[in-house]
């Protein structure tokens, strides 16, 4: 199975900060990488697919980058509604696997 | 508007069975692969399995942790997805999400809680 490792597992940031979360795959996955946002008590929401393509309706402050084994999700200017847990996920091979999550908290 | 509504969760004893349903609306259900993803309390996301569409013979994929115990099926005439769970274990306790697949897991239901406990 492909292991997905996210870092950091949690971070504290202020409104307006630029935030970057990284995700590493245990083997190459080309650009078959997605990012999700989950708020407490809610279902995950798709943000990015294909490593860098923005899902319809997702604001452009979210961006994704990377290919192969190393990926990143960047929030250009953190807003109160962005405080959540973020997950990466590979869909190159079965079983589909998720990173452990990064909790973004208010500083 | 795409809607996915899960039902059928509840409390079940270890070794028992449960069948989850997912009612889909707002899109042509038969055109899409569908997945189940679960999340244990306070934990991360775990992919459970996938069912492909009719053109791909409704074939399925499963996570190793559920293979042989869980079965995914669909009824395109009812726009419904199912998860039959047998031989349930305490570690199957989780919120189970029904998810549409379009390149990625693009729409998620609100989830249904399954608790396996004696």
Identify which of A82, A42, A91, A44 has the alpha carbon closest to the alpha carbon of residue A61: A82
Whether residue B110 lies within 8 A of chain A, CB to CB, comes out as yes
Distances (CA, A) of B43 to A16, A67, A95, B112: 28, 27, 18, 15
CB atoms within 10 A of CB B28: 9
Q: Give pLDDT, residue B103.
A: 84
The list of chain A residues with pLDDT below 70 reads none
Whether residue B33 lies within 8 A of chain A, CB to CB, comes out as no
Chain A residues in contact with B109 by the CB 8 A cut-off are 43
Mean pLDDT split into 10-residue runs, chain B, 118 residues: 97 98 98 98 98 96 98 98 98 98 94 98
Q: Taking a C-beta distance cutoff of 8 angstroms, is the pair A94, B61 a contact?
A: yes
Q: Give pLDDT, residue A107.
A: 85
Tokens 């775990």, located at residue: B46
Q: Give pLDDT, residue A66.
A: 98
Q: Give pLDDT, residue A106.
A: 85
Chain A residues in contact with B106 by the CB 8 A cut-off are 46, 49, 55
N- to C-terminal Cα distance for chain B?
Answer: 40
Q: Pick from B61, B63, B105, B112 the residue to mutate for testing the A interface (most A CBs within 10 Å).
A: B105
Q: Are A94 and B61 inside 8 Å of each other by CB?
A: yes
Q: Are B44 and A99 inside 8 Å of each other by CB?
A: yes
Strand partners, A65: A72
């Amino acid at each position: 199975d492909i292991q997905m490792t996210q870092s950091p597992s949690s971070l504290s940031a202020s409104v307006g900060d630029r935030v970057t979360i990284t995700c590493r795959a245990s083997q190459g996955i080309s650009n078959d990488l997605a990012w999700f946002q989950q708020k407490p008590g809610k279902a995950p929401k798709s943000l990015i697919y294909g490593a860098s393509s923005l899902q319809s309706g997702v604001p452009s402050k979210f961006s994704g980058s990377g290919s192969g084994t190393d990926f990143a999700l960047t929030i250009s200017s953190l807003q109160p509604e962005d405080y959540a847990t973020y997950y990466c996920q590979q869909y190159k091979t079965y079983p589909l696997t998720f990173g452990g999550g990064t909790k973004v908290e208010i500083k | 508007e795409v809607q996915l509504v899960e039902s059928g969760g509840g409390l079940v004893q270890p070794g028992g069975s449960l069948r989850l349903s997912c009612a889909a609306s707002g899109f042509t259900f038969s055109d899409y692969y569908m997945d189940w993803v679960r999340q244990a309390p306070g934990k991360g996301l775990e992919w459970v399995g996938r069912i492909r569409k009719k053109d791909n013979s409704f074939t399925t994929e499963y996570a190793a942790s559920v293979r042989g115990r869980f079965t995914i099926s669909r009824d395109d005439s009812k726009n419904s997805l199912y998860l039959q769970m047998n031989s349930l274990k305490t570690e199957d306790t989780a919120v189970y999400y029904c998810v549409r697949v379009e390149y990625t897991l693009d729409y998620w239901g609100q989830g249904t809680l399954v608790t396996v406990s004696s």
